[in-house]
Structure 1
Amino acid sequence: MEISIRESCIRCGHCVKVCPSQIFEQEKAGAPVTLCKPENCIGCGHCVAVCPTGSVAHGMFPPERVHAADYAALPTSEQVELLLAVRRSNRALRKTPVPQEMLDRIVAAADRAPTASNARQLGYTLVTDPAMLRGITEYTLGVFGKLEKRLLNPLVRPWLSRIVPGVYRYVPVFKRLRREYAEGRDRVLRGATAVLFIHAPKANRFGSEDANLAYQNASLMAEALGVSQIYMGFVLTALRQDKTERLPEMLGLEGRRICAVMALGMPQFRYPNYIDREPAEVTLL
């Protein structure tokens, strides 16, 4: 890793304070900043982003990738709160595809999310092909059909209903999903014209945590762009129940674990109101 400190360094020590790998050292305030084991760098870019004089030369972050932060251009806290308040899973979608530029910005927003140890091992697979979208729904319904048969097995039902209370309330849901799909209504993808899969290597211990941080970024960007986003809990449930790897293989994701799934579409309308929820219960210790 090529890292050096230019002569323009003013010895403020900011890089020393923010580096998670502690590769910058400073004996005391105002002393020269030196490097210690730069090979331990995880490539987070904190040092480059925090330096007020551009004095950290980092091979991963050449000048064209470094930009001045205009904090005056940031949304106000009230605007952020409003974005959070109006964000909803709008399932009333138009058939009009989401413009590719918007999809690109949503994925880019997801990819800006932090990852554990800056591993950045998340991958993004965007499905827009109508045949593949139907395949995702049919895969999900197929898994649910098999699960329903297992649940209704008279040898299984007595003990499973005690071990997993409430599991049988999903049986009529599975039936309804299949019936409505046969009638031309997809209640899994809800008519979404794009589905974003966020995945990580199976060996990544923090894949799910990283993916859900990325999902939140993508969700808020979609809301800001006027794109509806729906968390695909049905698809994730099917993935967890199915041991055949059929969906990952269909998507070319062998050896990876799908951690989050987002359906995207252009809304027929936007919600004119937002509601206040009950305040969160906070325990102060």
Structure 2
Amino acid sequence: MSSHRPMEKLTSRLPVLGDRADRKDVVAVVKLHGVINPQPSPLARGVINLAAVESALTRAFDHDRLQAVALQINSPGGAPTQSGLIAERIRQLADKHGKPVLAFAEDVAASGGYWLACAADEIYAHRTSMVGSIGVITGTFGFTGLLERFGIERRLYTAGENKARLDPFSPEKPEDVEWLRKLHGQLHEMFVGWVRERRGDRLSDAEELFSGDVWLGAKALELGLVDGVGNLRDVLAERYPDAEIVVAEPKKPLLARLGVGAPAAALLDAVADRTAWSRFGL
């Protein structure tokens, strides 16, 4: 008798990795929560950019037995370039793996947040979700009167007549405002084109559709901005009743994970985030 026979009997009873019949199908959920900002803050826990979400998206689409990827979106928008880069990456992965993508709006999927949602094949919103804001906005301040009050002289040196456009410490020039409006118009056209490309004939012909307004879930459904009203758990349970839901969260900066950082950075983050969310009463 061979000395290897007892070992063969033992190993034959062990489960073989990758061959388990009881393994469930998977729906991977990627959380896209926060303001869309290209700058990763050491304290920001809710900043969305391609560098932060790339690993989560890759992990989500790489799951064995993947049935679909769900995007859990809660964002008031932000940087248009990062919105476009993330949306394009989602489509690249979806096309590569041949898997459907479903987006779910939570409190708000507006502006850049809705740009991200349009990367999905289907969009769902809660009845209280705020959806839309298909427009472009720039917020800034003017400090010229403040400088004069304290006797501060602004010294600015440039090469190029338009280098200091919209400098907050200099008087506003009508030609600079007109330049910004043209830039906004071009970005707005790109945004509208993306929405039309992704939503197609599901969109209504309502004049207010691209006005920059936002709507609650039911009205967004009427306008064709979403495909249904519901929440992530209920929709996925109905569509994929036997699938396991797994979450892939974007990575956080080291100091955010440790809960420490510079007070000044924390203050600036808080002001920027508060401004973006407050436009939607949040």
Provide TM-score, normalisation by structure 2.
0.23
Q: Which has the higher strand share?
A: 2
Q: Relative contact order: is structure 1 or structure 2 higher (C-alpha 8 Å, sep ≥ 6)?
A: 2
Normalising by structure 1, report the TM-score.
0.23
